[in-house]
């Protein structure tokens, strides 16, 4: 469920974003991915869906009913991820601030990349996969990384036709039998 202290507004750079309309304390749940699940067998992936779902397993994603799907990425975020779906304040957030998290806290694939223009001093410029996240950043985010990424080597995506399709920037077609 969305925290009542956030609202969707236009941003200067990225279209829509989510902003604090009152002070939020460290540890508060800000939003949650609480919507429909999708996996490789779904045959109607769109760019819009791909950009707004959160990865929660090697071949599994989830959308949100509320504002979570509209949260923008930052390389200097004020929120992180608890378990798989909760977006939680990593520090106190002041009224007026945009709510952000770091997409590499949940994503791991060999194909998804995004140019970042967040403007933070430590901006990594291109983000995409937790496997590329620098060690110093992982240490900073300790406790705020999606639990599916911490399960070990078995969580590595399979190298299949699926993986090839993804490298071309789209979700794979329905798995072949």
Residue 127 CB, shortest distance to Zn ion, in Å, is 7
Q: Quote the strand ranges of the chain, DSSP E.
A: 6-10, 16-20, 29-32, 37-39, 54-57, 60-62, 72-73, 79-82, 86-89, 100-101, 114-115, 126-127
Decide whether 1 or 121 has the Cβ nearer to Zn ion.
121
Look at residues 70, 62, 166 and name the one whose alpha carbon lies nearest to residue 109: 166
Decide whether 78 or 162 has the Cβ nearer to Zn ion.
78
Look at residues 79, 69, 63, 145 and name the one whose alpha carbon lies nearest to residue 106: 145
Decide whether 84 or 145 has the Cβ nearer to Zn ion.
145
Residue 118 CB, shortest distance to Zn ion, in Å, is 3
Q: Residue numbers of the site for Zn ion (CB under 5 A)? A: 75, 116, 118, 123
Residue 18 CB, shortest distance to Zn ion, in Å, is 17
């Amino acid at each position: 469920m969305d925290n009542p202290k956030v609202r969707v507004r236009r941003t200067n750079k990225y279209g829509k974003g989510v902003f604090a309309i009152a002070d939020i304390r460290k540890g508060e749940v800000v939003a949650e991915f609480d919507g429909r699940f999708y996996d490789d067998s779904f045959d109607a992936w769109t760019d819009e869906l791909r950009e707004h779902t959160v990865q929660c397993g090697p071949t599994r994603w989830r959308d949100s009913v509320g504002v979570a799907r509209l949260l923008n990425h930052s390389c200097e975020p004020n929120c992180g991820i608890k378990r798989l779906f909760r977006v939680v304040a990593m520090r106190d957030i002041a009224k007026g601030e945009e709510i952000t998290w770091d997409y590499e806290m949940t994503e791991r694939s060999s194909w998804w990349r995004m140019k970042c223009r967040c403007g933070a001093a430590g901006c990594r410029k291109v983000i995409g996969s937790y496997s590329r996240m620098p060690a110093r950043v992982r240490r900073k985010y300790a406790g705020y990384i999606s639990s599916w990424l911490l399960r070990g080597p078995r969580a590595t995506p399979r190298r299949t036709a699926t993986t090839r399709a993804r490298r071309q920037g789209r979700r794979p077609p329905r798995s072949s039998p």
